[in-house]
Amino acid sequence: MELSSEDTAQARIITVHADRIDAAGAIEFKEKMRSAVDEGPERVVLDLTSVDFIDSSGLGAIVATMKMLGQGRRLDLAGLTPLVEKVFRLTRMDTIFRLYPDRETALAVTSE
């Protein structure tokens, strides 16, 4: 699984370059996210535009990433495809994470 990272004035944007975050790739995702979010800005935006499928293991890996950030840092999600967004809403994870239609919208929002 490939991730890329970009720092802006507002946040660190981490883009997932994979079509799935599932049981087969969740551990690798978590390990790569640990490196990507280590000692970064307060806000991290995870761009999921390329992700078409996520299962409970993938969801758990994203929650684990949020916990890795600790107090005072925040993980927001952007670019969720309809199926991935549905998983977040059905599991009520949309009450835990801020979901944005795309990275530009996420970056336009000032700190809340």
- Convert the pLDDT of each residue in 48-73 to its tens digit: 999 999 999 999 999 999 999 988 99
**Given this model, what pLDDT does residue 10 score?**
87
Residue 67 lies in a domain: yes
Helix (H, G, I), strand (E, B) or coil at 62: helix
**Domain tally, the chain:** 1
**CATH number of the domain bearing residue 9:** 3.30.750.24
Strands 43-47 and 12-17: parallel
Residue 85 belongs to some domain of the structure: yes
Q: Please, what is the average pLDDT of the chain?
A: 94
- 111 falls within a domain: no
Whether 112 is in a domain gets the answer no
Determine, yes or no, domain membership for 15: yes
What is the rounded CA–CA span in Å between residue 31 and residue 28? 5
- In terms of residue numbers, what domain contains 96? 2-106
* Helical residues (DSSP H) of 2-112, grouped into ranges: 26-37, 56-69, 82-90, 103-108
Query: What does pTM read for this prediction?
Result: 0.94
At a CB cut-off of 8 Å and minimum separation 6, what does 11 contact? 41, 42, 43, 44, 45, 76, 106, 107
**What proportion of the chain, given as a percentage, has pLDDT over 70?**
97
